[in-house]
């Protein structure tokens, strides 16, 4: 065991993580305002200059994913033998790792924003609120995750690359370039999970304040970060088959119960009509919405602040989420993989938003005295649930779901990072998972201890900035994958 720990200190991936921890905490202490200002400016500039590029990229990824689903190639199986996970657990792991906490936090706030400030004017606000929420959380983000995951799974289970490190960047003879790419993916995953843990803990604390009136301050925040980091590390140490899967199953089952409870209070026919109209229009005008053209040409400010921001954000999470999806998908056919990682979660996400949005809009229209209760990202869902029966119970359940969603993101990230530091081993040694759990928790604690939400938000913007070079790598991998598959069909 002592020799294993000694080996860790020579591991480049872990040394990079330690360097990030030192620089982020030290920088946050010495010149936080300069860091915040620089990252804010750079983030705004990237979104402004590369807006059209991101729009086209998202549209192309969806188109390619749909094409692959229809080709004979899709009958190939990703590895031999029985699938490791039941379909329910498989979908649960996708849901909790990909978007769990976001679906909770945005369930009411985002559609209400589109309802009150519609990006285009030729559609009724109720339908438009759902249509744009479907657009931003539907097929495009899941296709981004899925296509990358498929390319990694293809290398792992069909090309028999043997480990994650080889599967992520196959065929390259440039060893320096491969190392840099691996370290970049490790860094972008680390930045994402640190920002998620720090901000997510703050969101959980905010929920406790709304629910119970508790104002537990910075000590409560640090205790929450530590607790989540500790539980996530323990979860990762047990492996995907145990605590990670159990938490994901529980998270999905409880989320379905919450959605069904809210659905009991819907006006059935009116809500169904609005949902179907929004979904149908979303499908018919998908290209126009994706490229912001024609009747769906939104303002530059809206496109940059919402669509381009979202596409960059989803891209930044692609390495971690895609690799995790590949890891849990052995034994599935390509068609099943694409269907279950794009169509199923996208449709479930749209159903989720339609239930909450339809009821929230109805409450606004009935009340006549709306005072902005649904506009705060962190508290909108809590305020909404308090307007329904059994509010004290449902808001407590929601707070638990937020905590589990954060926990699931962190434990999955620990597992993915451990695979990289353990030379791509798809079942990394416990010592690597323990090391990453300590690094992630310590970094999040260090940044949170500085007491600046602005700094944590700035680090999340660093994630958006890093999405740009990753998108170039992603594009190159797509071209290489298409070239390989076309050549295989010729043989």
Q: What is the pLDDT of residue 456?
A: 67
Q: Which long-range contacts (CB under 8 A, 24 or more apart) does 257-263 make?
A: 257/397, 258/394, 258/397, 258/398, 258/401, 259/351, 259/352, 259/355, 259/356, 261/388, 261/390, 261/394, 262/355, 262/356, 262/359, 262/385, 262/388, 263/355
Taking the C-alpha atoms of residue 192 and residue 413, their distance in angstroms, rounded to an integer, is 9
Taking the C-alpha atoms of residue 207 and residue 83, their distance in angstroms, rounded to an integer, is 38
**How many CB atoms sit inside 10 A of residue 217's CB?**
10
Q: What is the pLDDT of residue 291?
A: 95
Question: Nearest Cα to 220, choosing from 237, 208, 236, 232?
Answer: 208
Q: What is the pLDDT of residue 148?
A: 94
For residue 395, what are its two tokens? 């808001």
pTM exceeds cut of 0.95 = no
Q: What is the pLDDT of residue 356?
A: 95
Q: Give the fold, CATH level 3, of 2-490.
A: Amino acid/polyamine transporter I (1.20.1740)
Taking the C-alpha atoms of residue 153 and residue 328, their distance in angstroms, rounded to an integer, is 9
Please name the residue ranges forming H helices in 305-390: 309-327, 334-338, 344-367, 380-386
Q: What is the pLDDT of residue 7?
A: 52
Q: What is the pLDDT of residue 396?
A: 87
As averages over each run of 10 residues, the pLDDT of the chain (491 residues) reads 53 72 71 81 88 94 93 85 82 77 88 93 90 95 94 87 75 71 84 80 75 71 86 87 83 92 87 92 95 92 90 89 88 91 93 94 78 81 90 88 87 87 85 89 80 68 87 91 74 55
Taking the C-alpha atoms of residue 359 and residue 107, their distance in angstroms, rounded to an integer, is 11
Q: What is the pLDDT of residue 171?
A: 62
- Residues 6 or more apart whose Cβ sits within 8 Å of residue 410: 193, 196, 197, 228, 229, 232, 440
- Residues 6 or more apart whose Cβ sits within 8 Å of residue 13: 182, 183, 186, 417, 420, 421
Query: How far lies 271's CA from each of 95, 350, 359, in Å?
Result: 24, 13, 8
User: Is the CB of residue 20 less than 8 Å from the CB of residue 192?
Assistant: no
Q: What is the pLDDT of residue 357?
A: 94
Q: What is the pLDDT of residue 267?
A: 80
Sketch the domain layout of the chain as residue ranges: 2-490
Q: What is the pLDDT of residue 292?
A: 94
């Amino acid at each position: 065991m002592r020799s294993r720990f000694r080996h860790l200190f020579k591991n480049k991936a872990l040394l990079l993580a330690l360097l990030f921890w030192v620089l982020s905490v030290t920088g946050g202490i010495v010149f936080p305002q300069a860091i915040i200002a620089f990252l804010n400016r750079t983030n705004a500039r990237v979104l402004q200059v590369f807006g059209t590029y991101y729009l086209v990229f998202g549209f192309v990824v969806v188109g390619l994913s749909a094409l692959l689903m229809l080709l004979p190639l899709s009958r190939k199986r990703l590895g031999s033998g029985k699938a490791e996970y039941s379909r329910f657990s498989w979908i649960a792991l996708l849901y909790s790792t990909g978007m769990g906490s976001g679906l909770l936090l945005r369930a009411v706030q985002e559609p209400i924003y589109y309802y009150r400030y519609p990006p285009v004017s030729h559609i009724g606000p109720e339908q438009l609120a759902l249509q744009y929420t479907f657009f931003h959380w539907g097929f495009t983000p899941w296709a981004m995750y899925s296509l990358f995951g498929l390319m990694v799974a293809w290398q792992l289970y069909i090309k028999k690359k043997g480990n994650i490190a080889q599967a992520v960047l196959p065929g390259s003879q440039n060893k320096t370039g491969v190392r840099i790419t691996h370290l970049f993916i490790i860094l972008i995953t680390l930045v994402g999970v640190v920002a998620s843990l720090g901000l997510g803990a703050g969101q959980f604390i905010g929920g406790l304040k709304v629910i119970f009136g508790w104002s537990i301050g910075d000590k409560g925040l640090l205790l929450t970060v530590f607790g989540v980091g500790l539980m996530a590390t323990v979860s990762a140490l047990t492996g995907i088959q145990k605590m990670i899967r159990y938490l994901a199953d529980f998270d999905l089952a409880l989320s379905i119960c919450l959605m069904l409870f809210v659905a009991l209070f819907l006006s059935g026919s009116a809500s169904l009509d609005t949902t179907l109209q929004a979904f149908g229009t979303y499908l018919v005008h998908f290209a126009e919405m994706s490229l912001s053209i024609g009747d769906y040409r939104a303002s530059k400010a809206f496109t940059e602040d919402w669509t381009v921001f979202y596409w960059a954000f989803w891209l930044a999470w692609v390495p971690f989420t895609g690799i995790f999806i590949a890891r849990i998908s052995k034994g599935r056919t390509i068609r099943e993989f694409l269907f279950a990682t794009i169509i199923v979660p996208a449709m479930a996400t749209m159903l989720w938003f339609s239930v909450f949005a339809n009821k929230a809009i109805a409450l606004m229209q009935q009340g006549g005295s709306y005072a902005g209760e649904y506009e705060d990202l962190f508290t909108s869902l809590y305020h909404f649930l308090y307007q329904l029966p059994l509010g004290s119970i449902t808001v407590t359940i929601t707070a638990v779901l937020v905590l589990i969603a954060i926990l699931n993101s962190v434990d999955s990230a620990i597992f993915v990072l451990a695979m990289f530091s353990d030379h791509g081993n798809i079942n990394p040694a416990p010592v690597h998972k323990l090391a990453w759990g300590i690094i992630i928790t310590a970094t999040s604690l260090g940044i949170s201890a500085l007491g600046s939400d602005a700094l944590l938000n700035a680090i999340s913007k660093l994630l958006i900035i890093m999405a740009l070079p990753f998108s170039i790598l992603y594009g190159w991998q797509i071209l290489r994958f298409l070239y390989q598959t076309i050549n295989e069909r010729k043989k």
